[in-house]
Amino acid sequence: MNRLLIVEADGGSRGNPGPAGYGAVVRDAATGQVLAERSGFIGRATNNVAEYRGLIAGIEAAVSLDPFAELDIRLDSKLLVCQMDGSWQVKSPELKPLVAAARAAIGGSQARFTWVPREHNMAADALANRAMDEHVGYQPDFEGLGGLPGSPKALEVAQAVRQSQMAPSGAQRYAGLPDEPTTVILVRHGITALTVQEAFAGSNLPGHDLSAEGGRQAAGAALELRTMLDVPWAYLRPPVALLASPTARTMQTAAELALVLGLEVTPTASWTEQDFGEWDGLTKDQASQRWPGEVERWFSDQDYSPPGGESRTAVGRRVRAALRQLTADHRGQCVAVVSHTMAIRAAIGAAIGAPPSVWFGFRINPASISIVRLWDQAHSELICLNRTVARL
């Protein structure tokens, strides 16, 4: 007989939508012992989104403890219970990807969903409130903008600021370009075991998974992006699409963004990392021992290809083509892309006309956010480079 685990999950939003957090507890059904706790702050979100984030975190914690266990999932939200057991349809576009993520987390496990009164779910509720309490400074001070968020004056001022920041610079205006560029948010994946070793990790599929720290970095990047989208002075429109390199580490990072953006992830091969050929998985020292002088040449020669691999120049051609496709498909819109160091460097290089020979001058940290805006191949700009946070 399979082990039975109890999952208690909850989430809350102070403002609905407003600053939101989630909590989850996993117990042994036989003893009541707490086996795992999960909590997190997710920025500005609704109660329902926060509740689903708690549900997903609780399921993932339980499955990681015992992938063969039966799950008794207890929630004080009738909406979640009825949507997850299939008795209610999921009509909200915001919730559909979260429902899919929760069902994917269950995988092959047997799970039943039970509604419980709020007083029977206090442990998860306390974790969610603690997550929100730890980020009480999240809400920006809107007094200088004429009032609280949502007030007519604040909205009027925010819209004026947004329009100013979204408009082309003087160079673009005098070039006679339209006012609506394509905005591309570039997010690097979180760390893996190879990142820590400073090893070559290229386009091979599926590649390494995120480490535990890499997963926390990915969640932090998602939260930071959500914050950037929420504050009234932001120059960003909400993304209409979320693309990701098909490697495991980028798809796992993109999954965190999908939860806060309410978008499905589209694997896109043109955003893979440079192909390092026979160097893939080797540290730089190991590659240097087997191919003396070749790693140094790779750093200095943009046209050099590692054995069986791809040159930086070739990466640039591939990424420029991907950017052209984005500008054609999403004129005047915003798109988020989860990718890799060299591919992101190539996108920034394309935006500011920097050749591959200088790309190593762009620092792209794990789980960092960079942003470019594109009118056409001759007119583009770098908005943000390597915005990196450590919140979780």
Close Cβ partners of 148 (under 8 Å, ≥ 6 residues apart): 142, 154
Q: What whole-number distance in Å separates Cα of residue 94 and Cα of residue 80?
A: 13
**Is 347:300 a contact under the CB 8 Å cutoff?**
no
Three-state DSSP class for 245?
A: coil
Q: Which two tokens stand for residue 182?
A: 């394509």
C-alpha pair distances (Å), 184 with each of 230, 309, 333: 17, 27, 9
Cβ neighbour number for residue 303 with a 10 Å cutoff? 10
C-alpha pair distances (Å), 141 with each of 227, 345, 354: 14, 35, 38
Q: Which two tokens stand for residue 324?
A: 């052209």
Task: Find the distance separating the first CA and the last CA of the chain, reported in whole Å.
Answer: 37
How many CA atoms, within 13 angstroms, populate the side-chain half-sphere of residue 131? 31
Q: DSSP assignment of 255-271, as one string?
A: HHHHHHHT--EEE-GGG
- Which residue bears the tokens 């979320």? 242
Close Cβ partners of 22 (under 8 Å, ≥ 6 residues apart): 9, 10, 11, 12, 38, 39, 40, 42, 50, 51, 53, 54, 57, 127, 128, 131
* Sheet strands side by side (includes 379-387): 265-267, 241-244, 334-339, 182-188, 369-376, 379-387
**Is 114:81 a contact under the CB 8 Å cutoff?**
yes
Q: Which two tokens stand for residue 72?
A: 């008794």
Residues with catalytic roles = 189, 273
